[in-house]
Chain A
Amino acid sequence: MSQATNNKIFSNLWMVVVYLFLYLPILTLVVYSFNDSKLISTWTHASLRWYEALIKDDDLISAVLLSLKIAGISALMSVFFGTFTAFALNRYKRFKGRTLLSSMASMPLVMPDVIVGLSLLLMIISVQHWLGFPDKGLFTILLGHALLGTAYATVVVTSRLREMDGRLDEAAMDLGCKPWQVFHLVTFPLLLPALVSAFLLTFTLSFDDVVLSSFLSGPGYSTMPMVIFSRARLGLNPTINAVATVTIVVVTCAVIASSFYTSHQARKRKREEAQAYSDSNK
């Protein structure tokens, strides 16, 4: 057998192993969500029993809704603050404390969530002690998630701002734009894809966060990951499989749709560029 076929067999085998490692657990979960048995590890026969149970499980449903709400709001907050931070770091090259800000902005990325959560908790408790608010609950979770999300959003927006031609701003001003018009007419439309991806990223981060939420939530505010986590400790209920499967299906559809869209756009652009080239050579 030649070296090339050997390599090919090995690389295919490796690919299969990696895919199994990544997706076998998820596949198992999906399959077992259709299992009729009450025991999570024994297969009896297929049924939608746990999906019915899920619909009736008000606790879990309200936790999902709460998680969506927190993820949505905190992602918006993250993108808002992250964009401002990224602008400050990229467009204003010299100001006092720039180096400090740039390292502080990315600190939450490397800081363990447990530490961030604990320190936020301590801070909130003492603030509450002095001022009488905020009570632990929706607001404090939002605060924690926005803090973490802002760091991620800053990174995403910064990378886009860096590759954007700074001359575009100057060209806009040269053609009569006042500074706010430059943002509104040129910078924002060009930044939009980055803002969308920053939103999706921070949304996901918030949606599956369990550590920060556990520290910062108060009575009556349990997010979906918290509910799943606490139920898992009491012994897993197959309803969790059902809610996980629903989540996986939604996420998979979104990912497939977005990658189709991106590759379609890329192909279209390539075609148009080729067209432009052949036109100019006529």
Chain B
Amino acid sequence: MATAPKEINQPAPEVLLRVENVTKIYDGTVKAVDDVSLTVNKGEIFALLGGSGCGKSTLLRMMAGFETPTKGKIHLAGQDITNLPPYQRPINMMFQSYALFPHLSVWENIAFGLKRDGMPKGQIAERVEKMLNLAQLGKFAQRKPHQLSGGQQQRVALVRSLAKRPQLLLLDEPLGALDKKLRETTQLELVNIIEEVGVTCVLVTHDQEEAMTMASRIAVMSEGYFLQVGEPDTVYEMPNSRKVADFIGNVNIFDGVIEEDEADHVTVRCPECVHYVGHGVSGHTGMEVGVALRPEKIMLSDKKPKGEYNWCQGEVIEIVYFGAHTTYHLKLDSGKVIKAQELNNTRDLSCGLTWGDRAYAHWNDLAMVVLAQ
């Protein structure tokens, strides 16, 4: 999720895909996609992230041409493609189920799209060869899809959709069908191949890790519209709403009221504690807000922290060991349960806490995000 440092005087990025106020209504009543606009720049990997039924797949299918928008326009490289059928769009898609043709060999699967374009035979062979090398599948060219493992099938699906050199590549839950162990390696392979070809990508996923590791920008979707669009670290560290904070990763949310509103800091009084936030927010005194705090930003100790802000006390009611880190569930005196994540950086349990212990949770003044109600 590292992003390149921003250069000064960077040339304006070239817009490849422009979605303008697209709405999709099914059966006259169900709004699957609700007035969505977005632009995807050339060379970008853009992720549509959301739970099932949030409209992300419908949006992708409208880009591919399998659905037509009820309202709105889709432009690709300046051309209006809203009503073009899929076979006339310079867009290819990799399907979640891969949709490899079971009756054709790997070679024929990759050549399938090229043949439809009437490309000369010599060129087809050359292109397929290149694609097989890209996916490191050279020796499997004559196999049928069922003779390949899941990871290999996935690479065939990817290079099949790249073979026609589409201007835009669509990925539908690219890693959805793989088991967890294969995911990590495959994810990197996928990104490497995509970057080698330099194709612009829109991917759909419900898995926030997948979106964060693969994409340069993420749109978080819910109920047919975008909650937030931004770079992975922005969306994670600066969510603009409770829904986003909740959807991306784990979060503790404290409800409170702004007590002090200054240019360089605010304090928020909650039933459990008082938050001192070390930067100004757009709000006013007396406003009801939520304070979002990620578990990994909370530190635990058995000693009472100094000062009156940014700590609370509770009882350890659950300890979940993950190997690399441990999550402690702390029941505060108000009855609220918060999660705190401690890194296991030594081989004995890091802070020696156990079930039933009283513990103090504390955090620094830039750890939290203040969200409007």
Residues of chain B from 99 to 123 with CB closer than 8 A to chain A in the complex: 99-103, 112-113, 116-117
Residues of chain B from 74 to 112 with CB closer than 8 A to chain A in the complex: 85-87, 91-93, 95-97, 99-103, 112
Interface centre among A175, A181, A185, A276 (most CB of B within 10 A): A175
A236 within 8 A of B: no
With a CB–CB cut-off of 8 A, which chain A residues contact B152?
276, 280
With a CB–CB cut-off of 8 A, which chain B residues contact A172?
101, 112
Report Cα–Cα, A55/B66, bound state, in Å: 61
- The answer on a CB contact under 8 Å between B101 and A174 is no
A246 within 8 A of B: no
Interface centre among A167, A171, A181 (most CB of B within 10 A): A171
Report Cα–Cα, A167/B151, bound state, in Å: 19
- The answer on a CB contact under 8 Å between A171 and B95 is yes
Report Cα–Cα, A280/B99, bound state, in Å: 20
Nearest chain B CB to A170 CB, angstrom units: 6
Query: Given A167-B97, A177-B116, A181-B116, do A276 and B147 touch, yes or no (CB 8 Å)?
Result: yes
Interface-facing stretch out of A26-34, A118-126, A267-275 = A267-275
- The answer on a CB contact under 8 Å between A168 and B113 is no
Report Cα–Cα, A165/B149, bound state, in Å: 19
A173 within 8 A of B: yes
Query: Given A170-B66, A173-B87, A174-B87, do A279 and B112 touch, yes or no (CB 8 Å)?
Result: no
- The answer on a CB contact under 8 Å between A175 and B92 is yes
- The answer on a CB contact under 8 Å between A269 and B146 is yes
Please provide the 10 A-B residue pairs with the shortest distance between their CB atoms, ordered closest to farther.
A280-B149, A175-B113, A176-B116, A171-B99, A167-B99, A272-B147, A173-B86, A276-B147, A189-B103, A176-B87
Report Cα–Cα, A172/B160, bound state, in Å: 11
Interface centre among A165, A170, A276 (most CB of B within 10 A): A276
- The answer on a CB contact under 8 Å between A165 and B147 is no
Nearest chain A CB to B66 CB, angstrom units: 6
Nearest chain A CB to B5 CB, angstrom units: 37
Nearest chain A CB to B114 CB, angstrom units: 9
A277 within 8 A of B: yes
Query: Given A170-B66, A177-B116, A280-B151, do A165 and B99 touch, yes or no (CB 8 Å)?
Result: yes
With a CB–CB cut-off of 8 A, which chain B residues contact A167?
95-97, 99
- The answer on a CB contact under 8 Å between A273 and B146 is yes
B164 within 8 A of A: yes
- The answer on a CB contact under 8 Å between B95 and A170 is yes
Nearest chain A CB to B349 CB, angstrom units: 36
Report Cα–Cα, A61/B148, bound state, in Å: 52
Query: Given A175-B160, A177-B87, A280-B152, do A170 and B99 touch, yes or no (CB 8 Å)?
Result: yes
Report Cα–Cα, A181/B101, bound state, in Å: 14
A186 within 8 A of B: yes
Nearest chain B CB to A277 CB, angstrom units: 6
Question: Which of B86, B91, B148 is the one whose CB lies under 8 Å from A170?
Answer: B86
Residues of chain B from 273 to 322 with CB closer than 8 A to chain A in the complex: none
B64 within 8 A of A: yes
- The answer on a CB contact under 8 Å between A173 and B149 is no
- The answer on a CB contact under 8 Å between A176 and B143 is no
Question: Which of B143, B144, B164 is the one whose CB lies under 8 Å from A175?
Answer: B164
Beyond contacts A167-B99, A170-B64, A170-B93: 17 other A-B pairs, Cβ-Cβ < 8 A, are: A170-B95, A172-B101, A173-B65, A173-B85, A174-B65, A174-B86, A174-B92, A174-B161, A175-B112, A175-B116, A175-B161, A175-B164, A176-B113, A272-B144, A273-B147, A276-B152, A279-B149
With a CB–CB cut-off of 8 A, which chain B residues contact A186?
101
A39 within 8 A of B: no
Q: Which residue on A lies nearest to B149, using beta carbons?
A: A280
Q: Which residue on B lies nearest to A171, using beta carbons?
A: B99
Report Cα–Cα, A230/B160, bound state, in Å: 63
With a CB–CB cut-off of 8 A, which chain A residues contact B164?
175-176
Report Cα–Cα, A250/B117, bound state, in Å: 48
Nearest chain A CB to B74 CB, angstrom units: 16
With a CB–CB cut-off of 8 A, which chain A residues contact B93?
170-171, 174
Nearest chain B CB to A226 CB, angstrom units: 42
Report Cα–Cα, A174/B117, bound state, in Å: 12
Nearest chain B CB to A96 CB, angstrom units: 15
- The answer on a CB contact under 8 Å between A178 and B99 is no
Interface string of B61-74 (1 = CB under 8 A from A): 00011100000000
Nearest chain A CB to B94 CB, angstrom units: 9
Report Cα–Cα, A168/B97, bound state, in Å: 9
With a CB–CB cut-off of 8 A, which chain A residues contact B148?
276, 280
Interface centre among B87, B93, B97, B152 (most CB of A within 10 A): B87
- The answer on a CB contact under 8 Å between B87 and A178 is yes
Q: Which residue on A lies nearest to B172, using beta carbons?
A: A167
A13 within 8 A of B: no
Question: Which of A171, A178, A181, A276 is the one whose CB lies under 8 Å from B143?
Answer: A276
